[in-house]
Amino acid sequence: MKSVAIISKPSKTELAGILPELLDWFRSRGYQLYLDQETAQYTDGEEIVPREQIGAKHPNFALVLGGDGTLLSAARAVAHEGVPILAVNLGSLGFLTEVPLSEMYLTLEAVDSGLCPGEERSVLDCSLFRGGACLAHLFALNDAVVNKSAISRLIDFDLLIDGAFVFNYKADGVIIATPTGSTAYSLAAGGPILMPSVESFVVTPVCPHSLTHRPLVVTDKAQIELRVETGDEEDAFLSIDGQVGLPVKRGDRLICARASHTVKLLRMRRTFFEALRAKLKWGQR
């Protein structure tokens, strides 16, 4: 039997009007439905699965109803199981959730017929070490960020690539971004835009003390290490995709490399540059 997981943005009132027809569409085509708890509140009688367990159901694909934040959360839940994701934009900017609601059923017909192309996005595999212990092992589709939590203090970082010292940062924070994440916080901090197919990561300082510290693009085959050299547990915070985080202490090490899995996005006809023109309001030819 075909199956689909539906993952929704919390507190989206328009879901009450969207979901009944959508669920009927899937039922009429013989799909087994797995709903996260946010989706299930608008319907009855379907199997409810906690979001973090949906990937273990191995649906044919996951349908995300929301914005980029919902997609990032869904990716952490299902990508490691190889589940493709189709994202319908119910948010605002939506670099990743590019399918508008008006084209949802047209796109679903293409997915159901096997005619919707997929695109693989690289993922950061991030480990936070304190002493010899690994405190956290997390995956990021967009970025891993170490930021100060005190308003008035800079953080001291050492950056190492494949074990080789690069330089020391004094900055408000440092962003390690994938090509997907290059259009998120890294872009706002002055980082470059990378095409999704570029096999690289970008290390972008946030408000560095030295004007010579610029964003650094490195191969995605490299191991990137940040060492926090100053501050105590109240002075820094690690954030994964802006959604999962924990405090960072002096001497902690964040090690990032390319994950063994990717995020598979189901996309239609738009190119990356069409999305940039639309979302960043670039001039048309």
Residues identified as active-site: 68
Strands 244-248 and 236-240: antiparallel
Residue 206 has φ and ψ, to the nearest 5°, of: -105, 115
Alpha helix segments (H runs only) across 79-221:
104-112, 185-188
> Is the distance from CB of 154 to CB of 235 less than 8 angstroms?
no
> Is the distance from CB of 215 to CB of 206 less than 8 angstroms?
no
Residue with tokens 């017929």: 113
CA distance 175 to 102: 35
CA distance 240 to 273: 26
Distance of CA 220 to the CA centre of its chain: 16
Helix (H) / strand (E) containing 217: strand 216-219
Strands 253-258 and 124-130: antiparallel
